[in-house]
């Protein structure tokens, strides 16, 4: 049995967002809710491009912050899931993001 295909994460295209003083502010147009991301959340947000998995995003955290790979992956997955539950992110099957 093969492992499930990884998913890539992308920003919900319906959102408005802006970086202000190093923090990312995201506005959900459907409910006009404002979300503020801290430094590491903003770093991840900037790197979410529809072509990276949670593991790849966590690797970027390890390279840029003083954090162990296990903690980076756990924290990244938790943040991605939280953002997805708030409809800030959507997933894309990895097979769709790879061009031949």
Distance from C-alpha of 44 to C-alpha of 46, rounded to nearest angstrom: 5
The residue segments making up the domain with residue 55 are 7-12+39-95
Is the residue at 80 inside a domain?
Answer: yes
Output DSSP code: residue 12: -
**2 within a domain of the structure (yes/no):** no
Question: Is 87 domain-assigned?
Answer: yes
Q: What is the pLDDT of residue 96?
A: 52
Quick: pLDDT tens for 38-93.
Answer: 999 999 999 999 999 999 999 999 999 999 999 999 999 999 999 999 999 999 88
Q: Count structural domains, the chain.
A: 1
**DSSP conformational letter for 3:** P
Is residue 34 assigned to a domain? no
Main-chain phi, psi angles of 4, to 5 degrees: -65, 150
- The reply to whether 89 falls in a domain is yes
Question: Among 10, 100, 4, which Cα is nearest to 52's?
Answer: 10
| pLDDT for the residue 99 | 42
In a domain, 30, yes or no: no
Locate 70 and state its tokens.
């296990």
Q: What is the dihedral of CA 76, 8, 49, 56, to 10 degrees?
A: 50
């Amino acid at each position: 049995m093969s492992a499930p295909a990884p998913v890539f994460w992308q920003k919900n295209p319906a959102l408005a967002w802006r970086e202000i003083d190093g923090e990312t502010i995201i506005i959900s147009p459907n409910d006009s809710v404002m979300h503020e991301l801290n430094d590491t959340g903003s770093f991840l947000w900037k790197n979410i491009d529809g072509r990276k998995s949670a593991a790849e995003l966590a690797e970027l955290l390890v390279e840029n912050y003083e954090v162990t790979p296990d903690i980076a992956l756990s924290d990244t997955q938790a943040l991605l899931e939280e953002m997805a539950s708030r409809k800030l992110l959507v997933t894309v099957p990895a097979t769709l993001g790879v061009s031949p």
